[in-house]
Chains A and B, each alone.
Chain A
Amino acid sequence: MSGERRSLWRILRVPLLVVLAVVVYSYTFQEADVNLDEIRSETRQTQLVRVLRALARPEVLTYERIETPTDAALALPCGPALPAAEYGPDERQIAVEPSCAEPGAEITVTGTNFSPNARGQIYQVPSSGEIELRLEEFIADENGDFVVVVDTRERPEDVPQTIRVITREPIGSVFSPEYVEVETDDLDEDGNAIVATVRSPRISEAAYNTWDRITETVMMAFLATSVGVLVAVPFSFLAARNIMREVTTTVLRLSLQILVLPVGMVAGIIAARWMQDVSLLLTDSVGLVVGGLIVIPVAIFFAIRRAFPPIDEGLVPRGERAIRVSLAGVAAVASILVLFLLADLLTDLGAWAAPSLARLAFIANFVETLGDILAAIITVITALITTGVAIQLAGRLAAVLRQSLPGGVRKAIAVPLAGLAGGVLAAILAQGVAWLYQLNDPVTTIWIPGAVGAVIGLALAIRSLRKDDIGVGLSLYYVSRTIFNALRSIEPLIMVIVFAVWVGLGPFAGSLALATHTIAALAKLYSEQVESILPGPVEAVKASGATRLQTIAYAVLPQVIPPYISFTLYRWDINVRMSTIIGFGGGGGIGFLLQQNIRLLNYQAASVNMLAIAIVVASMDYLSARIRERIV
């Protein structure tokens, strides 16, 4: 029975699949609006041909041109007979057939004695002579003759109008340029146009603009890649399963660490504020700042040398330990001060040097901005570091409790602490939600989430009491993976819209969007490299008594450096390509110019932009492949 059913399925399988495919593709065609009528339509085709021909002639060079008109009369509509135009024997001439027509009717324009292959435009000039209405283009054959059928414009007049053929012959060539005097738009004192001598041909305006924007584009990609790498490298370890799997903790330790989290953060912010106030006392005088920047780091150096002796002797006497801890603390606080002083010095230095550096002023601006960035992130860094220290201390406390308390008591303490920790964590997270939705009611923003968090914390604690190890590392792994995947799935072209709202349209918004995407993409690629390292060296280094950080530095890092470089170059490649279009979303760079030129139907300029993109992308591709070969 079942065999029969199977053979039936075997017979029907192919026809069914064909039917299914037909249905799927029919629907696809409908949704994608596949319509060959549009392709066949003549107006579409002429448009396409015009665009393609314009694109094929990128306007890299601008020529000054000699305009030569040739006229013939035409009556629209028919009236008294017109005098025939008089031409010399070898003079270029045009004939219009018929010599009168209804407005809008077709006429045939025949030209003879033009230069071979000459190009030009045919215009209809009404009797006022003030405007030239463009009718059609023409290209003469190798004998200098042409025949074009054109539609006249519907502008009836009682007096004869003129059909004018204008050729614009470029002056000079790339190999033998000529100099021409042209009237500029500027006027001299007497109100006459100033005459300037220009070279023909010369590099076009479009080419100059393209050069400016393509440099901007490459710099955007460079900035985004550098920032992306800086942030992605540390995060890549968080998103690596083999590293995080081993990070386990106990209920007691985890609860204590969560509880000190806000404490550490607040302490860091207070310390940073305090040091900023101290730094303000010094920043009035440059001498004090520079002096402080020399003296304090030296003091920090010696304090650190004293606090971290080169050999780890194991247990040290309590007094010595107190000295070391306080020295390390003082050094840390002093480092914050140094950073503030440095930020101040950089900002002042940049502002002071900018006017006197002329064309190199951008370096001074960079220094100033660097100082600005530094000042902005010191508080964040400090808060992160104090939080880290607080977590370490909580870990130590947990270790002491573990040694000094019997298991039962420890568990009895751990459970309520876990409840408290869950409550605190949930209340902190709820603050973010409250800010986003502008909730101001403490019951909904603190107490309810706190209570829910506490219940979850208690439940988790009771559940994991039997086990000694909680896989906190794996939880962090999943959280960071999820964040990176979410970030990665948003195209930078969409992200740039958000950033453009924040920092305004332009290359900065584009760089930020690219950087965000780069962080997520690189963190994922990097972490997969960490996951695929050889486990042997890690095992060997761990066996020698190395700490987790030492293990990463000595067994993991050397193994992942070549693939990291390789992926960075690959990403740099992608970023160059992406930065060429990020301008379409408001992100600056060449894309912005390209979009503008396309909208203005300036296809010859757009063609220069595309050419530049093609050259840059291809050369980056080649360059990164070469570097990759060399290093890896």
Chain B
Amino acid sequence: MLKIEHLTKVYDNGTVALKDVSFEVPDGEFLAVIGLSGSGKSTLLRCINRLIEPTEGRILWNGVDIASLSQEELRPVRRRIGMVFQHFNLVHRSKVLTNVLQGSLGYVNPVRSVFNRFPQEAIDKAFAQLERVGLEEKATSRADALSGGQQQRVGVARALMQDPEMILADEPVASLDPVLAHSIMQYLEQINQEDEVTVLCSLHFLDLVHRYADRAIALNDGVLVFEGPPQEIDDDKFREIYGKEAERVG
């Protein structure tokens, strides 16, 4: 169970990205986070694993307040939270396998892994994850030799490598064409349903939200303006979320 309480983020330059946001995510849920660009979706997801330091509020996950942890205490928490990024964030010059193995860095011994020594179990597991996303024969290619859709599948494999209890997906399909978008979303759906991993996924397209999400929350200018099943987003709600002039597409 993830419980966000009164989360506020003010950047150093004074920008208020999140204003007193509170919501809950039961274990195993697929939650979509929607809103305009700049509405605070990315900030919200990054506050949950403290890539961005929240200014105020609590982030309770399995009873532990993530917001109050020290850097050392954060490591065991972060390794159970996978993350998938809009721009994939792979290390271009590294092999695909190395990129997937990065997902095990929270588990392996820090001293050994610095010298590029991974236990055999980790390597076997990395191959298994690549197989799951259908890229086992690309293991030794350089990451930048892959197409966009393939790169995002490596990103998913890297998140899976962490044995995550929760996956934060920040616009995972915004850089992909609609066909690839569905294939990536299906991987996330499969992980959500088969492995019972909680998924928080920010999305732009409402049809994807309707198709994949159990529930949705919407942010507008850092404020939580909607929380409920995707079916409840009617035209009025839509305008409230996206602004008065917005028109629905797709």
Residue numbers of A with Cβ under 8 A of B are 308-312, 314, 399, 402, 536-537, 539-547, 549-550, 553-555, 558-559, 561-562
Contact = CB atoms under 8 A, between A and B. Distances in A.
B51 A310 contact: no
Contacts of B3: none
A562 B93 contact: yes
A540 B116 CA distance: 18
B91 to A, nearest CB: 5
Given A310-B119, A399-B72, A543 B110 contact: no
A553 B155 CA distance: 19
Given A537-B91, A540-B85, A543-B49, A308 B105 contact: no
A558 B116 CA distance: 12
A553 B158 contact: no
B108 interface: yes
Contacts of A311: 107-109, 119, 121
A544 B94 contact: no
Contact of B76 (A309, A545, A559): A545
A543 B78 contact: yes
Contacts of B116: 553
B249 interface: no
B91 A539 contact: no
Contact of A312 (B85, B107, B155): B107
Centre residue among A543, A547, A549, A555 by max chain B CB count within 10 A: A543
A540 B158 contact: yes
A555 B51 CA distance: 15
A564 to B, nearest CB: 12
B210 interface: no
Interface string B82-118: 1101011111111000100011111111111110111
A546 B105 contact: yes
A546 B76 contact: no
B89 A544 contact: no
Given A540-B85, A542-B51, A544-B102, A553 B113 contact: yes
A544 B81 CA distance: 7
B237 interface: no
Contacts of A547: 75, 105, 110
Contacts of B72: 399
Given A311-B107, A311-B119, A550-B105, A545 B75 contact: yes
29 contacts: A310-B117, A536-B87, A539-B51, A540-B85, A540-B90, A540-B155, A540-B158, A541-B102, A542-B51, A542-B78, A543-B49, A543-B51, A543-B83, A544-B78, A544-B83, A545-B74, A545-B75, A545-B76, A545-B78, A545-B107, A546-B110, A547-B105, A550-B114, A554-B94, A555-B102, A558-B93, A558-B94, A559-B92, A559-B93
Given A545-B79, A545-B162, A553 B91 contact: no
A537 B119 contact: no
A414 to B, nearest CB: 15
Given A542-B51, A543-B49, A554 B111 contact: no
Contacts of A553: 113-114, 116
Contacts of B147: none
B105 A554 contact: yes
The binding surface of chain A is classed by DSSP as helix
Given A550-B113, A558-B92, A562-B93, 18 more contacts: A312-B107, A314-B76, A536-B89, A537-B91, A540-B89, A540-B155, A543-B168, A544-B104, A544-B106, A545-B74, A545-B77, A545-B78, A546-B102, A547-B75, A554-B91, A555-B102, A559-B91, A561-B93
B109 A310 contact: yes
Nearest to B81: A543
Contacts, number: 106
B70 interface: yes
A559 B143 CA distance: 12
Contacts of A546: 102, 105-106, 110
Given A544-B158, A559-B91, A562-B93, A549 B114 contact: yes
Interface of B: 49, 51, 70, 72, 74-79, 81-83, 85, 87-94, 98, 102-114, 116-119, 121, 155, 158, 161-162, 168
Nearest to A549: B114
Contacts of A540: 83, 85, 89-90, 102, 155, 158
Contact of A544 (B98, B111, B162): B162
B109 A312 contact: yes
A535 to B, nearest CB: 9
A137 B89 CA distance: 77
Contacts of B70: 399, 402
Contacts of A310: 108-109, 112, 117-119
A368 to B, nearest CB: 30
B79 A544 contact: yes
A457 to B, nearest CB: 23
A545 B91 contact: no
A565 to B, nearest CB: 12
A399 B71 CA distance: 10
Contacts of A542: 51, 78
A329 to B, nearest CB: 14
A314 B76 CA distance: 7
Contacts of B118: 310
A241 B107 CA distance: 28
B110 A312 contact: yes
Contacts of B155: 540
8 closest residue pairs by CB, A with B: A545-B106, A545-B79, A536-B89, A545-B78, A540-B89, A546-B105, A310-B119, A543-B83
Contacts of B51: 539, 542-543
A400 to B, nearest CB: 11
Contacts of A309: 109
Nearest to A552: B114
A537 B79 contact: no
A561 B91 CA distance: 12
Nearest to A304: B111
Nearest to B78: A545
Nearest to A533: B91
A549 B105 CA distance: 11
Contacts of A561: 93
Contacts of A550: 105, 110, 113-114
Contacts of B121: 311
A602 B164 CA distance: 78
A238 B98 CA distance: 26
B89 A545 contact: no
Nearest to A248: B71
B99 to A, nearest CB: 9
Nearest to A548: B71
A566 B94 CA distance: 18
Given A402-B70, A545-B79, A537 B89 contact: yes
Nearest to B161: A544
A597 to B, nearest CB: 49
Nearest to B93: A558
Contacts of B89: 536-537, 539-540
B111 to A, nearest CB: 5
B155 to A, nearest CB: 8
Nearest to B104: A544
B105 A544 contact: yes
Contacts of B168: 543
Nearest to A253: B70
A372 B74 CA distance: 45
B120 to A, nearest CB: 9
A544 B94 CA distance: 17
